[in-house]
Amino acid sequence: MTENTQATTNWTPRPPQWIWMDGRFLDVTAAQASVLSHGLHYGTGVFEGIRAYSTPEGPRIFALDAHLDRLRRGAECLGLAVDLESLAWACQEVLTRNGLDAAYIRPLVFQGMGGLGLDLGAQRQHSVVAAMPWRSHLGGAAAARGVKATIAAVSTLRRNRAAAIPPLKLTGGYVNAVLAKRAAAAAGFEEAIFVDDEDRVCEATGENVFAVFGDHVVAVTHPDALPGITRRAVLELARGEERELSRAELLVADEVFLTGTSAEVTPVRELDGKRFPEGAVTRRLQAAYQDLVHGRAPRTAAARPGAGRAGHRMPQQPRAAAPPPSVQVTT
Ligand SMILES: Cc1ncc(COP(=O)(O)O)c(C=O)c1O
């Protein structure tokens, strides 16, 4: 694996040693799929980005059920069968095997070899869970200093329409985000925010958008935006409002910030030349979110899956005997 050296995409500094694939833990070099995998050619896969946080009681996985619930919904779109119990167990176990506590966890389920036609069914399916040492994809300093974002540099690009590709974490859909990220980086920006044909704000390439007017917090709604798990948690913490927002309104907000599993709560310090001063509301929500994910604050309903399984229980190894769980899961 080659480390991405682009300033805005600090990805994994070193690959993990152990990867869970199709029910087994394998050395990263042994976890392989065919170059004729359907998912490689057509993006027929679904993934999640989940985080585990280091706490005095050991690693804590935040909102695991909500993430797996969203993965299940994406898998259904592509006719992928997912064993949620196995995936939940693997998300926990991959941390232990790699000796990680603060980590990014990446489950991925995709269509493998078995035909390159656009009809699905004959393909073998693969499930993978990887964990890697944590580094923000917006860069480690982004939470503190904020990001320099643009709408203008990507104004000819549109977010995938929900009517074309459902706003879930389908692998093929992310080409859209990569194109926007490339255009933004080429113009000297760290992040791109999509607007639609009516100039309504949609989302960033890997985050949802919030605006603050005085003390009032607005979580931007848009039918083409991913229903973010961090967004729901932060909206609940902020006791804010959900509504559509135009580009013009965003530019006159007192504060703008982005939310995502990776970005957490990241201020936008500049948007197309408009500078936003360091915002007290954003800072307060950053702190509240850190308390939540580190288990220092009561659980929010928002971090639980909307229509998911009721309650939560520690994932257990579905087949052979599991070692005693050493990882907690917070909802
Ligand atoms: C396109 C997009 N929007 C928003 C988000 C934020 O979602 P979440 O808070 O569930 O990580 C993500 C990250 O998963 C994303 O990829």
3-state secondary structure 72-127: HHHHHHCCCCCCHHHHHHHHHHHHHHHCCCCEEEEEEEEECCCCCCCCCCCCCEEE
pLDDT at 6: 39
Q: How confident is the model over 74-101, as pLDDT tens digits?
A: 999 999 999 999 999 999 999 999 999 8
330 assigned to some structural domain: no
Residue 324 has pLDDT above 60, yes or no: no
**SS3 for 176?**
helix
Using DSSP, how many helices (H) and how many strands (E) does the chain show? 8, 17
Let me know: does 305 contact 65? Beta carbons within 8 Å.
yes
- Residue 110 makes CB contacts below 8 A (sequence gap 6+) with 33, 37, 38, 39, 44, 45, 46, 80, 125, 126, 128, 171
pLDDT at 294: 92
- Report which ligand 1 atom has the smallest distance to the Cα of 225: 3
pLDDT at 140: 64
60 assigned to some structural domain: yes
Find the domain containing 13 and state its range. 3-134+310-316
pLDDT at 323: 40
Residues 128, 272 within the same domain = no
Residues 254, 126 within the same domain = no
Angle between the 84-98 and 64-77 helix axes, to the nearest 10 degrees? 130
pLDDT at 222: 98
Residues 160, 114 within the same domain = no
Q: How confident is the model over 272-322, as pLDDT tens digits?
A: 999 999 899 999 999 999 999 998 876 666 555 432 232 233 344 554 434
Residues 89, 120 within the same domain = yes
Residues 130, 156 within the same domain = no
212 assigned to some structural domain: yes
Pocket probe for ligand 1: among 207, 237, 261, the residue whose CB has the most ligand atoms within 8 Å is: 207
pLDDT at 327: 64
Residues 95, 154 within the same domain = no
Q: Whose CA is nearest to atom 1 of ligand 1?
A: 206
The band of 57, judged by pLDDT with boundaries at 50, 70 and 90, is confident
pLDDT at 309: 30
Residue the block writes with tokens 């977010």: 159
- Report which ligand 1 atom has the smallest distance to the Cα of 261: 11
The band of 330, judged by pLDDT with boundaries at 50, 70 and 90, is low
Residue 27: CATH number of its domain: 3.30.470.10
- Residue 146 Cβ < 6 Å to ligand 1: no
Residues 292, 189 within the same domain = yes
Q: How confident is the model over 94-146, as pLDDT tens digits?
A: 999 999 989 999 999 999 999 999 999 899 999 999 999 876 666 667 778 89
Q: Which amino acid, 255?
A: E
C-alpha of residue 248 to centroid of ligand 1, in Å: 23
H-only helix segments in 102-246: 142-145, 174-186, 229-238
For residues 301 and 110, what is the distance between their CA atoms, to the nearest angstrom?
Answer: 30
pTM (two decimals): 0.88
> Looking at residue 246, what DSSP letter applies?
B
Q: How confident is the model over 217-232, as pLDDT tens digits?
A: 999 999 999 999 999 9
C-alpha of residue 206 to centroid of ligand 1, in Å: 5
221 assigned to some structural domain: yes
- Hey, what are 238's tokens? 């902020």
- Residue 305 Cβ < 6 Å to ligand 1: no
pLDDT at 139: 62
C-alpha of residue 197 to centroid of ligand 1, in Å: 22
DSSP-derived secondary structure for 265-282: EEEEEEETTEE-PPPHHH
- Residue 207 Cβ < 6 Å to ligand 1: yes
- Report which ligand 1 atom has the smallest distance to the Cα of 66: 10
Burial of 49 (0-12, 13-18, 19+ CB in 10 A): middle
9 assigned to some structural domain: yes
pLDDT at 278: 87
119 assigned to some structural domain: yes
Q: How confident is the model over 25-53, as pLDDT tens digits?
A: 999 999 999 999 999 999 999 999 999 99
Total structural domains within the chain? 2
- Residue 208 Cβ < 6 Å to ligand 1: yes
- Residue 228 Cβ < 6 Å to ligand 1: yes
Q: Whose CA is nearest to atom 4 of ligand 1?
A: 207
Tell which residue, 224, 216, 331, 228, has the closest CA to residue 285.
Answer: 216
Q: How confident is the model over 193-209, as pLDDT tens digits?
A: 999 999 999 999 999 99
Residue the block writes with tokens 């040492």: 133
Residues 128, 183 within the same domain = no
- Residue 49 Cβ < 6 Å to ligand 1: yes
Tell which residue, 33, 40, 43, 21, has the closest CA to residue 87.
Answer: 21
Residues 68, 146 within the same domain = no
Q: Is 304 left (phi over 0), alpha (psi -120 to 50) or beta?
A: beta
Q: Whose CA is nearest to atom 2 of ligand 1?
A: 206
329 assigned to some structural domain: no
Residues 110, 170 within the same domain = no
C-alpha of residue 182 to centroid of ligand 1, in Å: 18
Percent of residues, the chain, with pLDDT higher than 70 = 84
In this structure, the chain runs to a length of 331
C-alpha of residue 71 to centroid of ligand 1, in Å: 12
Residues 195, 289 within the same domain = yes
Q: Whose CA is nearest to atom 7 of ligand 1?
A: 228
Residues 18, 107 within the same domain = yes
pLDDT at 141: 75
331 assigned to some structural domain: no
Residue 276: CATH number of its domain: 3.20.10.10
